[in-house]
Chain A
Amino acid sequence: MKIKIQRDTIVEYTVEHKERTLLEILTELKTMQDPSLTFSSGCRSSVCGSCAVVVNGKEVLACAYHAKNGDVIEPLKNSEVIRDLVVNMDRAYEFNAKSKAWQSTFSEDMSLSQADEKINETQSDCILCGACYSACPVYAVNKEFLGPFSLTRVWRYISDKREENPKEKIDTIQTNGVWDCTLCNECTLVCPQDISSKADIEKLRAKSSMAGYMDPNFSSIGGGFDGSPTF
């Protein structure tokens, strides 16, 4: 079968047709056909987040995708391509720090129930593969958008009883944050860990409203003099 890989130009490779992952094919190409082919890989079991690429326009983990004849492989979008399928994730990961996606204080001996733990079980499965970041259309208009995975990770900590200062995080995600999302759900569709950043962003919006913040788009588009919507 044939697959095409976006390098400096699009290069077509012929590989034996059999059921296997795209990562296995990339590895075979590199070690047997073309050692200059460049991609990232790690655990090959969907948990390290190294091998996310775009196949036929959709983000997948190469180690979890079964390749088909005619597939077109490209690097992730919204990040600088270093070489072939390798992108520089530094800038994307910086949004975690900008969002303060961490627990802000030490929390000693806080008792968490099974229900408390389940609140963010899925969000804490995030592997930082960057698929959501690549699929997000907001970056086309706002390069400073904190983005899907960072906001999911903020939700993870805000929803945890051990976080003593959730207000600080809510304050942090007002600018280039929760209100810049269009709720298009592209991030959800590509997440290999079944996380919905869109849903997490909606929950963060609700928390923001409770903290007294308003949707800035809403007030500027339709707000009357008294702040009530006019449509």
Chain B
Amino acid sequence: MKKNVIVIGAGGAGLVAAINAHENGANVLIITKDYSTRSQTCMAQGGINAALSNAGEDSIEAHIQNTLKSAHGLANEDAVRFMCQEAPNAIKWLDSIGVPFSRTSESKIAQRTLGGASAPRACYAQDYTGLKILHTLYDKCLSLNIEILNERYLLECITDKNDNEESYVCGVSVLNKRSGEIEVYESPSVIIATGGYSRIYHTHSTNAVGSSGDGIVAALRAGARVSDMEFVQFHPTAMKNSAILISESARGAGGYLLNSKGHRFTNELAPRDEVARAIDDEILKGEEIFLDIRHLGEEFINRELPQERKLAKLYEDIDPVSELIPIKPVAHYTMGGIEVDENSKTVIDGLYAVGECANHKVHGANRLGGNSLLELIVFGKQVGENATKYAFKQNNDISRGVDISAKSSDEFIIKIKEYTNEIDFYQKQKFIGDLFYLHVAIKRDKGILEYVLQDVEKLLEELPKMGVSDKSKIYNTNLIEFLEFKNMLELSRLVLLGAISRDESRGAHFRVDIPKENNEEFKAHSIIDRDGSVSYEN
């Protein structure tokens, strides 16, 4: 049966979009490459921002101003205002569907301070905030009987053109991982909610292995534009050996950053770009960096940060109650993504995007902790409503009827399987990840970026010499991982194009050769279209 709305991705953003489309009357289908509860959202720990003043004086205006300041002039103030004003409603809604937030002694939703915030603003559920929100949303989808197709990998957003030569979306093609068959699903509205691309940094990222930005590349291929791709947030405190995240809430609660001499060297609660740079400076001086939460006490750590303690013990063999946690900054969140307007729509009719894969311009050059979970809920609701309205309008338009097929996707997969596999792509994936962590990370230099771009472009040319050795149809993860690598290589190129073109330093994009903001030329969003040309727009 034909659906009104298809949502690609079943993390927080996708589920909220689907729930809201459903509640507006749409027949919704969610498609995910894994299972919903395995999405990146489950890894969010610290909290979700809303000016509720439950734990200290706060205001929506303060939330707006903190967000704008951290964004370094690159946020859209209207979008930020909308998000921050809607934040209390977002929390109310999550509370109403059963999210088990931690509580204060006055029986209110508990709030904690994260970096760059002037008040304790992040609502949390211990340090399992994302996990508990994601699972509650999933349970809500089950209660509404929303159909979820698991283990389908997005290949194409299928488009056509109307009489005025304007593109519109008519469905998607996906690879069913289990059967190996290509499937086509038709729908007038498609919402991309596939997450960010931090895994281009390979193991130098806090993210799950699936954060390969598939939806961004598919949207770009379909004719959508991407923006602000050069802005990649490095989280200051990932554990040194495993790159597994220790939440900012550890610093919010009073945790210190120490160097090898045991000295504090920065304001631990500055925005992440500043803290990450301060740590990077220390590391370049030869210091090792540690997070110290010993003084918070065992009772507090067990109550508020149980996951952090568990992860430190399990992956670093460190008990933070009595020991220092060795840390380093790694890639954590990608501010850039699919360019959308104030309705979450791309330049293609019917094609929408939401969550980390989209750029709603609420984070600008540097995201504040606690604002990404918020973004999912606020814009997830909005995109669900908008995609539904649009779909109903199209369904009434009888002149529109296209015959969509899997032909091009079929040919694509056949071609990929014929790639010669002379070059091992897993090795190249590690190579690019290491190269990016070294040169396209916290500090960047134009000359070196240009060299890295040459490497990436060479690999793009060599893709036909890579490929897969496993030719199985059934559950071929060798193939899926190659397709993800191919997408990440294309995204790496976009990050570099943005980073080379932006001759200034702003937020998470710091150029050692030009360490200052240049508001005259670059207080604007970098836009890249399908042919790879970079332009700036406001």
- Listed in ascending order, the chain A residues whose CB lies under 8 Å from chain B are 21, 30-32, 35-36, 38-50, 64, 82-83, 86, 88-90, 93, 96-97, 100-104, 106-114, 116-117, 120-121, 124-128, 153, 156-157, 160, 162-163
29 A-B pairs within 8 Å (CB atoms) are namely A35-B478, A36-B470, A41-B209, A45-B244, A47-B131, A47-B307, A48-B37, A48-B38, A48-B208, A49-B37, A82-B474, A83-B475, A89-B150, A96-B139, A97-B142, A101-B142, A103-B139, A107-B95, A108-B92, A114-B105, A116-B107, A117-B103, A124-B132, A124-B136, A128-B37, A156-B100, A157-B98, A160-B98, A162-B95
Contacts of A45 in B (CB 8 A): 43, 242, 244-245, 311, 315
Q: B260 interface residue, CB < 8 Å from A? A: no
Contacts of A108 in B (CB 8 A): 92, 96
Q: Is the CB of B43 within 8 A of A36?
A: no
Contacts of A42 in B (CB 8 A): 34, 38, 208-210
Contacts of A96 in B (CB 8 A): 139, 142
Q: Is the CB of A48 within 8 A of B142?
A: no
Q: Which residue on chain A has the smallest CB distance to residue B43?
A: A43
Q: Is the CB of B210 within 8 A of A103?
A: no
Number of interface residues of B (CB under 8 A): 57
Q: B101 interface residue, CB < 8 Å from A? A: yes
Contacts of A40 in B (CB 8 A): 34
Q: B392 interface residue, CB < 8 Å from A? A: no
Known interface pairs A32-B426, A48-B37. Does A114 touch B100 (Cβ–Cβ under 8 Å)?
no
Known interface pairs A35-B470, A36-B472, A43-B43. Does A121 touch B103 (Cβ–Cβ under 8 Å)?
no
Give bound CA distance, A32 to B477, whole Å: 14
Q: Which residue on chain B has the smallest CB distance to residue A89?
A: B35
From A44, A101, A107, A127, contact of B96 by CB (8 A): A107
Contacts of A38 in B (CB 8 A): 475-477
Q: Is the CB of B426 within 8 A of A31?
A: yes
Q: Which residue on chain A has the smallest CB distance to residue B475?
A: A83
Q: B266 interface residue, CB < 8 Å from A? A: no
Q: Is the CB of A128 within 8 A of B135?
A: yes
Q: Is the interface of A mostly helix, strand, loop or mixed?
A: loop
Q: Is the CB of A104 within 8 A of B103?
A: no
Q: Is the CB of A113 within 8 A of B103?
A: yes
Q: Is the CB of A82 within 8 A of B475?
A: yes
- Listed in ascending order, the chain B residues whose CB lies under 8 Å from chain A are 34-35, 37-40, 42-43, 92, 95-98, 100-105, 107-108, 125-126, 128, 131-132, 135-136, 139-140, 142-143, 145, 150, 178, 208-210, 242, 244-245, 307, 310-311, 314-315, 426-427, 468-470, 472, 474-478
B489 nearest CB across to chain A (Å): 16
Q: Is the CB of A125 within 8 A of B131?
A: yes
Q: Which residue on chain A has the smallest CB distance to residue B104?
A: A114
Apart from A107-B95, A112-B107, 8 more pairs, CB < 8 Å: A41-B209, A47-B131, A48-B208, A86-B475, A103-B98, A114-B103, A116-B103, A162-B95
Q: Which residue on chain A has the smallest CB distance to residue B471?
A: A36
Give bound CA distance, A163 to B101, whole Å: 15
A166 nearest CB across to chain B (Å): 13
B190 nearest CB across to chain A (Å): 23
Q: Is the CB of B178 within 8 A of A88?
A: yes
Q: Is the CB of A43 within 8 A of B42?
A: yes
Q: Is the CB of B209 within 8 A of A111?
A: no
From B34, B307, B472, contact of A50 by CB (8 A): B34
Contacts of A126 in B (CB 8 A): 135
Of B34, B37, B107, B145, chain A has the most CB atoms within 10 Å of the CB of B37
A73 nearest CB across to chain B (Å): 16
Q: Is the CB of B150 within 8 A of A90?
A: yes
A165 nearest CB across to chain B (Å): 12
Q: Is the CB of A50 within 8 A of B38?
A: yes
Known interface pairs A38-B477, A83-B475, A111-B107. Does A102 touch B131 (Cβ–Cβ under 8 Å)?
no
Q: Is the CB of B98 within 8 A of A117?
A: no
Give bound CA distance, A107 to B476, whole Å: 44
Q: Which residue on chain A has the smallest CB distance to residue B143?
A: A102
Of B100, B132, B242, B426, chain A has the most CB atoms within 10 Å of the CB of B100
A68 nearest CB across to chain B (Å): 16
Q: Is the CB of A112 within 8 A of B98?
A: no
B324 nearest CB across to chain A (Å): 20
Contacts of B140 in A (CB 8 A): 102-103
Contacts of B242 in A (CB 8 A): 44-45
Give bound CA distance, A121 to B150, whole Å: 28
Of A83, A100, A124, A156, chain B has the most CB atoms within 10 Å of the CB of A124
Q: Which residue on chain B has the smallest CB distance to residue A114?
A: B103
B38 nearest CB across to chain A (Å): 4
Q: Is the CB of A127 within 8 A of B475?
A: no
Give bound CA distance, A86 to B478, whole Å: 14
Q: Is the CB of A48 within 8 A of B43?
A: yes
Give bound CA distance, A108 to B252, whole Å: 29
B366 nearest CB across to chain A (Å): 24
Contacts of B469 in A (CB 8 A): 35-36
Contacts of A104 in B (CB 8 A): 143
Q: Is the CB of B96 within 8 A of A106?
A: yes
The 3 closest A-B pairs by CB, nearest first: A103-B98, A31-B426, A102-B139
Q: Is the CB of B42 within 8 A of A48?
A: yes
Contacts of A30 in B (CB 8 A): 426, 477-478
Q: Which residue on chain B has the smallest CB distance to residue A23?
A: B209
Q: Is the CB of B103 within 8 A of A44?
A: no
Known interface pairs A93-B35, A114-B103. Does A43 touch B128 (Cβ–Cβ under 8 Å)?
no
Give bound CA distance, A32 to B139, whole Å: 39
B429 nearest CB across to chain A (Å): 8
From A86, A103, A125, contact of B97 by CB (8 A): A103
Give bound CA distance, A86 to B480, whole Å: 14
Known interface pairs A47-B131, A48-B38. Does A163 touch B92 (Cβ–Cβ under 8 Å)?
no
Q: Is the CB of A163 within 8 A of B98?
A: yes
A102 nearest CB across to chain B (Å): 4
B31 nearest CB across to chain A (Å): 14
Give bound CA distance, A32 to B42, whole Å: 29
From B39, B208, B475, contact of A44 by CB (8 A): B208
Q: Which residue on chain B has the smallest CB distance to residue A162?
A: B98
Q: Is the CB of B107 within 8 A of A127?
A: no
Give bound CA distance, A38 to B473, whole Å: 12
Give bound CA distance, A212 to B190, whole Å: 48
Q: Which residue on chain B has the smallest CB distance to residue A126?
A: B135
From B38, B96, B143, B178, contact of A100 by CB (8 A): B143
Q: Which residue on chain B has the smallest CB distance to residue A96?
A: B142
Of A32, A48, A104, A126, chain B has the most CB atoms within 10 Å of the CB of A48
A169 nearest CB across to chain B (Å): 11
Q: Is the CB of A121 within 8 A of B208?
A: no
Known interface pairs A44-B209, A121-B126. Does A160 touch B100 (Cβ–Cβ under 8 Å)?
yes
Contacts of A120 in B (CB 8 A): 100
Contacts of B150 in A (CB 8 A): 89-90
Q: Which residue on chain B has the smallest CB distance to residue A104?
A: B143
